[in-house]
Structure 1
């Protein structure tokens, strides 16, 4: 993987996740990763960082089509086929405890939503903001490109609305979003969710919790080798160390 990830403390594991607010599999991937993390013995030593990825940067602020018709148009499928795709992912999401309502979905550009996630990170609320935006898009039918909506959602997770509005209007986090996207391109990421563990190993897609747990365990073991376990009853028998040998006197 790309070696440009910021270093972490020796006793911690960094996990970087690229995803989009308008990605149904990203919400499922988030839940599955959380399930894996809950089973991971070192979960309190894992630092999760969310990164921006726009599946369709050219989406207008408010898309005129419904989710079904937009999918049909994008993939050249019939509305019936598109509905089948939506139904499948809805059932999968339900299996993870998520309630999708694509009939309410309001399609729109996610660039400002990603800026809001970066803003929330500076206040220790990145994960809560990511969660709220995913639910807003997938379940609540909120237009996540609308400034007033973003301010309201930010306030719901405890951010200052006035500060959020100012940050989104002046675009102070826009460059950070572009840097995320440039790094994704450099890493060869073409689909999301995409997990990078320890700055070295990539996991693509909404993998099942056991696969993600296995990846966490493997990376932890490789980057945090276990201390040697002493064998034998006498751990203080005579020996030589650090260039010295203590030779006992003979009686």
Structure 2
């Protein structure tokens, strides 16, 4: 069963949604039947790659709100994070451009380490104050999941895997993705947002029925095989 997950590293609901999906898969015992394809989706593709500000400052500017108002608005997100075993530290989070992190994730896929890199990057951003603009920090995260340091550095110093990000953007446009997380199950069912666990469980069951459908073969007409043609 194939699941596509459109997400961004700095989207608080993406990490929560990812955890709920993983919990649903585990509860159903589908671990060996699932293939997750991670799709890059940049919420702020034009954000500075050098300058940063606190997450709260970013929200205050975007919504013209006070510090008290943005702290109140993020308190419910913290509660949702706790439900899936996460402790969010919005006071440590910083704004930034996630292009480099997404390119490293695409590179990590070539080593079979994409899922591990995405997990550790999200964990460090939301719980440990990772600055996604800090290339050295991203390299260290890559190394921590078993990826070669010099290759990670070379990826960041080049434009490698930018085409993969462009393809993901195109796929998102085709599906009319306007917010993340956005999940596509077997190219038939979709979930927008960090929905409750039961929604993921129900959708996984529906998608499995689609994936398990056997090809309905009709007739036995004229055809050719390795041993010749049936006349």
Q: Would you call these one fold, judging by a TM-score over 0.5?
A: yes
In structure 2, the residue matched to 1:123 is: 111
Contact 1:136 1:144 in 2 (8 A): no
In structure 2, the residue matched to 1:179 is: 167
Deviation, 1:209, is: 1.6
Q: Note the 1:214-233 alignment, pairs <5 A.
A: 214-225=202-213
Determine whether 1:93 maps to 2:81.
yes
Task: Give the aligned length.
Answer: 218
Deviation, 1:126, is: 1.0
Deviation string, structure 1 residues 117-170 (Cα, Å, up to 9, x no partner): 111111111111111110121111111122111110000111011111112212
Q: Note the 1:124-143 alignment, pairs <5 A.
A: 124-143=112-131
Determine whether 1:78 maps to 2:100.
no
Distance 2:88 2:204 in 1: 28
Say which one has the larger Rg.
Answer: 1
TM-score (norm 1): 0.82
Contact 1:111 1:145 in 2 (8 A): no
In structure 2, the residue matched to 1:16 is: 4
Between structures 1 and 2, the one with greater helix share = 2
- Structure 2 portions without partners, runs of 5+: 221-231
In structure 2, the residue matched to 1:35 is: 23
Contact 2:186 2:210 in 1 (8 A): no
Distance 1:35 1:142 in 2: 25
Contact 1:154 1:164 in 2 (8 A): yes
In structure 2, the residue matched to 1:161 is: 149
Distance 1:225 1:147 in 2: 46
Q: 1:150 aligns with which of 120, 123, 138?
A: 138
Secondary structure at the aligned position of 1:15 is classed as: strand
- Structure 1 portions without partners, runs of 5+: 1-12, 228-241, 243-251
In structure 2, the residue matched to 1:234 is: none
Deviation, 1:77, is: 2.3
In structure 2, the residue matched to 1:59 is: 47
Q: 1:200 aligns with which of 167, 188, 194?
A: 188
User: Structure 1 residues 43-52 or 57-66, which shifts more?
Assistant: 57-66
Q: Note the 1:94-109 alignment, pairs <5 A.
A: 94-109=82-97
Secondary structure at the aligned position of 1:170 is classed as: coil
RMSD: 1.9
